[in-house]
A and B are shown apart, each in its own frame.
Chain A
């Protein structure tokens, strides 16, 4: 009996492994040539993707092609999934890759080039790949948010620069996310690295050492920081400063119950980091032409004007109209910290390790 069981297990594992690997080799080569119109395109997105009812259907009405959505994990998880399945992709188009992972995705040859005619209406500084392997769709700024009442009650002025936070007056007021597990956390770390570069007298290591001395609180993710530890708006905590998005105040107004006339929170425009989200056509798709039309659609005003109130980021298309609540309550920082995508990719692990050593 023992032996039979063991043999069976081994045979089964071997058999399945054999079929699996034999199949995956054959799929990659089939594409190019003349493309038959597909009836469906698969769009892979991260788990914060949102779209209003009827918007993707407009693409179907226009082209006769329906869009099936696959929801992956967060942005990092999605990139890993795309890399693991690149020989036999599970989707035709990927949406939601951001600039912190861009370099890694490009190095793995995930995408084929496609220059959308709509790139004309997209500002040049959002285009980070000269070969057009990815197309910018939206952007958002990771910025410090403050609790208007909370700061006033504590008798503290709104900090105007990042450097202010190193002042002992702001001890115990700031909550940030761990860059090792959170994308706004990583964005904020990058903003501090851009603001206090390594060759300066006072570099980002010094700045974070000062924040540590000021009892900065680190949480694993945005939800724990904003809802759990931040005192402003819908936060349940007691700290008046948090790393969040420039679009959080309009969300506080839009999702307020009861309605609010004024945002309870504000944005500090120094030390913001711009996250740009891209879409790309996955190499290995059977329908690159149709996939290109989907990219065009993602840049079209129909989709772009839906973005602000579903994902709370800015449309890349300059001609897209913004909803009033966005115009009234959002602050677009004059300048944002930018770090070259290759530099981010080359240093991410090292920077996170150094940061962890300072804050531990």
Chain B
């Protein structure tokens, strides 16, 4: 089962050894990276929290289980994550379909645009979001401080995950399968349900797993929109570890969070391995067509309208606030950004932009290289070890930022003291970005027909060469989508870096926070201006990344 390529062929001994070395490296590099930068810090901080004197003390668990409020937190964390995931799938899948199957003017722009909410700092979108949910918003009902506010915000932030992960896969599905079903008399719905949906399942499950992890560990959205009644385990870990300086209870909660996340991930991975079909993937362009007929146009229009309301409204509020000056619309706040020395911002905005881009670039390269190596392991191996490895790759997404940040702070002091090194910034970002690369690449890799690989091997290609020449071009496109996400994740400053003590390297999000920390119409306006620049920059970056062509992409 394991290595059919080897079984079928009698390779020369040296070539086989080289192949084996390659295969080992494939495993060692991602495992070493995750082991040192993720597993080791997290294990260290949990051990420090639960066994401060070297002896394990389980009392914090008793504290958790004896306090109904903390049990309530655990329950709320779970159900809101499930609800948010289902809701995001429900609205995201039609969006993915429209963007994958229909070719209409501005499609590329829309596809890059949906990624923008994903990177915006919650504190910035938070206030704009209230404009959407207030009584005067486009929804027309007052949903502020309700659970709906949280769910809708989660859809807002995660919509791109579903649209892009599922969409990338969908545009490579051969439409002739569904067409055949229609010709044979199946209704549109039945053809979708019985032909397309089963084929899409790996991609949907991929997207769902990411959305679930993101919402399970939701922090900013819950803090800003959740009010006093709703807290997630993530928020509670943060509160215990920072505001209350109670490390034992924080560590116990971190264990609880990790256990929940791991259980879900292992279940997901089992499902994924069982469900994947191999079939012919094809070039994207062939599948996308101009919408024909009222029905198709309606579908496109409805989805674009939905995106405009859900994603567009809060973003437009930001833009509008950045342009609103005392004498009408103007660029005053953008110009004001250059008065950084006295304007509440202590660095030139160009420095912040440069820092953001620099970290994002390194994080993206790290995430893509390690993510693709790891994807190969996950996609081509089976059994418990591969499943555990898959879960391990995803785990940083489901680990509280406080746990990882504080873990890095106490663990990575030797042999090289990385605790306050600038390098830890892109490394921490890449930990969160790797799952995106893996989740977009694995479904594609699994679907590549084994016959293609075998043919290449029969023709004398080494396993490495087979991978390079058969698999790589096929997965490059998925890799690019992953790279786009990785870039966005880093630009948006996700995760553990907020809990490290780092040399002052202001990035766009930290510059925005800094501006928002003082009252004043100028600081507020400039914060909105910088947010708008961040939005535009993200859109452009994603657009550019997607235009990159690797090898023969699109020719398969």
B523 surroundings in chain A (CB, below 8 A): 234, 251, 255
Partner of B32, one of A12, A50, A81: A12
Knowing A73-B499, A234-B524, the reply to whether A360 touches B127 (Cβ < 8 A) is: no
Contact of A13 with B127 in the complex, beta carbons under 8 Å: no
Complex interface residues of chain A between 13 and 43 (CB less than 8 A to chain B): 13, 16-17, 19-20, 23-24, 42
Residues of B within 8 A of A50 (CB): 346, 514
CB distance from B184 to the nearest CB of A (A): 43
User: Chain B at the A interface: mostly helix, strand, loop or mixed?
Assistant: helix
B293 contacts partner chain A, Cβ-Cβ < 8 Å:
no
Give every chain B residue within 8 A of A257 (Cβ-Cβ). Answer: 325-326, 332-333, 336, 520-522, 525
Residue B503 CB within 8 A of the other chain: yes
The answer to whether B520 and A255 touch across the interface, beta carbons within 8 angstroms, is yes
Number of B residues with CB within 8 Å of any CB on chain A:
80
B503–A251 CB distance below 8 A: no
Pick from A19, A69, A79, A227: contact of B414, CB below 8 A.
Answer: A19
What 1/0 flags go to B385-400 for Cβ under 8 Å of A? 1101100100000000
**Interface size, A (range):** 35 or more
Q: Which residues of A contact B321 (CB under 8 A)?
A: 236
Q: How far is the CB of A23 from the nearest CB of chain B, in Å?
A: 4
Q: Point out the residues of chain B lying under 8 angstroms from A252, CB to CB.
A: 519-521
- Do A233 and B520 touch across chains, with their CB atoms under 8 A apart? yes
Q: Which residues of A contact B514 (CB under 8 A)?
A: 47, 50
Shortest Cβ distance from A105 into B: residue: B245
**Which residues of A, 212-270, contact B by the 8 Å Cβ criterion?**
218-224, 226-228, 233-236, 244, 248, 251-252, 254-258, 265
Pairwise interchain contact A70-B501, C-beta atoms closer than 8 A = yes
Binds A, one of B265-273, B279-287, B403-411: B403-411
- The distance in angstroms between the C-alpha atoms of A233 and B414, with both chains bound, is 49
- Decide if B344 touches A255 in the complex (CB within 8 Å): yes
* Chain A residue, CB-CB nearest to B27: A5
Return chain B residues, CB-CB under 8 Å to A251: 518-520, 523
A74 at the interface (CB under 8 A from B): yes
In the complex, A255→B321 CA distance in Å? 16
Complex Cα distance, B127 from A70, in Å, reads: 29
Instruction: Decide if A91 is an interface residue (CB 8 Å cutoff).
Output: yes
Distance between A290 CB and nearest chain B CB, rounded to angstroms: 19
Question: B463-503, CB under 8 A of A: which get 1 and which 0?
Answer: 00000000000000000000000000000000000111111
Contact A360 B228 (CB under 8 A): yes
Q: Is A343 part of the binding interface, using a Cβ–Cβ cutoff of 8 Å?
A: no
Instruction: Fill in one digit per residue for A96-113: 1 if any B CB lies within 8 Å of its CB, else 0.
Output: 000001001000000000
Q: How long is the Cα–Cα vector from A222 to B500 in the complex, in angstroms?
A: 22
Chain B residues within 8 Å of A227, by CB: 127, 516, 524
**Are A90 and B419 in contact, CB atoms less than 8 angstroms apart?**
yes
B152 within 8 Å of A (CB atoms): no
Interface residue A180 (Cβ < 8 Å from any Cβ of B): yes
Contact with A along B292-327 (1 / 0, CB 8 A): 000000000000000000000000000001000110
Q: How far is the CA of A156 from the CA of B341 in the complex (A)?
A: 39
Residues of chain B within 8 A of A265, CB atoms compared: 519
User: For chain A residues 55-114, which have a beta carbon within 8 Å of chain B?
Assistant: 68-74, 76-81, 83-85, 88, 90-91, 101, 104
Beta-carbon contact of A255 and B346 below 8 Å? no
Whole-angstrom CA separation of A33 from B265 in the bound complex: 54
Q: Is B35 touching A16 in the complex (CB atoms < 8 A)?
A: yes
Q: A5-B27, A84-B409, A228-B130 are in contact. Are A20 and B44 (CB under 8 A)?
A: yes
Q: Which residues of chain B (399-440) have a CB below 8 Å from chain A?
A: 406, 409-415, 419-420
Is residue B16 within 8 Å, beta carbon to beta carbon, of the partner chain? no
User: Which residues from A are CB-within-8-Å of B123?
Assistant: 221, 223-224
Answer whether residue A324 sits at the interface, using C-beta atoms and an 8 A cutoff.
no
In the bound assembly, the distance between CA atoms of A81 and B461 in angstroms comes to 53
Q: With a 10 A CB-CB cut-off, give which of B412, B414, B517, B520 has the most chain A CB atoms.
A: B520
Given B228, B242, B332, which contacts A76 in the complex, CB threshold below 8 Å? B242
Is B521 a contact of A255 with CB atoms below 8 Å? Answer: yes
Contacts of B277 on A, CB cut-off 8 Å? none
Whether A359 contacts B228 by the Cβ 8 Å rule is: yes
Q: Note all chain A residues with C-beta closer than 8 A to B325.
A: 257
Residue of A with least CB distance to B35: A12
Contact A181 B518 (CB under 8 A): no
Q: Find B385's partner among A6, A44, A88 (CB 8 Å cutoff).
A: A6
CA distance A224 to B239 in the complex (A): 18
Q: Is B291 an interface residue (CB 8 A)?
A: no
Q: Is B276 an interface residue (CB 8 A)?
A: no
Contact of A74 with B419 in the complex, beta carbons under 8 Å? no
Closest Cβ–Cβ distance, residue A196 to chain B (whole Å): 21
Q: Are B40 and A16 in contact (CB under 8 A)?
A: yes
Contacts of B40 in A (CB 8 A): 13, 16-17, 20
A190 to chain B, nearest CB (A): 14
* Option from A12, A52, A68 in Cβ contact (under 8 Å) with B341: A52
Name B412's closest neighbour in chain A (CB-CB). Answer: A20
Q: Does B224 contact A (CB under 8 A)?
A: yes
Contact of B223 among A20, A73, A220 (CB under 8 A): A220
Query: Given known contacts A51-B346, A220-B223, A223-B516, is B245 in contact with A8 (CB within 8 Å)?
Result: no
B181 interfacial contact with A, CB 8 Å:
no
Does A256 lie within 8 Å of B520, measured CB to CB? yes
Contact B35 A9 (CB under 8 A): yes
- B241 CB-CB contact with A under 8 Å: yes
B15 within 8 A of A: no
B102-145 residues at the A interface, CB under 8 angstroms: 123, 126-127, 130
* B389 A5 Cβ-Cβ under 8 A: yes
B555 an interface residue at 8 Å Cβ cutoff? Answer: no
* B contact residues around A234 at 8 Å (CB): 519-521, 523-524
A356 at the A/B interface (Cβ < 8 Å)? yes
In chain B, residues 207-266, which have Cβ atoms closer than 8 Å to a Cβ of chain A?
223-224, 226-229, 239, 241-247
Name the contact of B126 in the complex, choosing from A23, A84, A224, A256 (C-beta under 8 A). A224
Chain A residues whose CB sits within 8 angstroms of the CB of B392 once the complex forms: 9
**A53 & B518 in contact (Cβ 8 Å cutoff):** no
Known A13-B39, A90-B420; judge A2-B501 contact (CB<8 A).
no
Contact partners of B346 in chain A: CB under 8 A: 50-53, 310
Question: Is the beta-carbon distance between A79 and B245 smaller than 8 angstroms?
Answer: yes
Interface status of A132 (Cβ within 8 A of chain B): no
B192 proximity list for chain A (CB < 8 A): none
Contact with B along A158-171 (1 / 0, CB 8 A): 00000000000000
Q: Does B362 contact A (CB under 8 A)?
A: no
How many angstroms between the C-alpha atoms of A45 and B539 in the bound complex?
Answer: 34
Known A-B contacts: A236-B127, A258-B326. Give 10 more (CB < 8 A).
A12-B39, A16-B35, A16-B40, A51-B346, A70-B503, A85-B409, A88-B413, A220-B223, A256-B521, A360-B228
**Residues of A bordering B, CB below 8 Å:** 1-6, 8-9, 12-13, 16-17, 19-20, 23-24, 42, 44, 47-48, 50-53, 68-74, 76-81, 83-85, 88, 90-91, 101, 104, 178, 180-181, 186, 218-224, 226-228, 233-236, 244, 248, 251-252, 254-258, 265, 309-310, 312, 348-349, 356, 359-360
Residues of B within 8 A of A (CB): 2, 27-28, 31-32, 35-36, 39-40, 43-45, 48, 123, 126-127, 130, 223-224, 226-229, 239, 241-247, 321, 325-326, 332-333, 336, 341-344, 346, 381, 383-386, 388-389, 392, 406, 409-415, 419-420, 498-504, 510, 513-514, 516-525
Which 4 A-B pairs give the minimum distances between C-beta atoms?
Answer: A255-B520, A2-B385, A23-B414, A257-B522
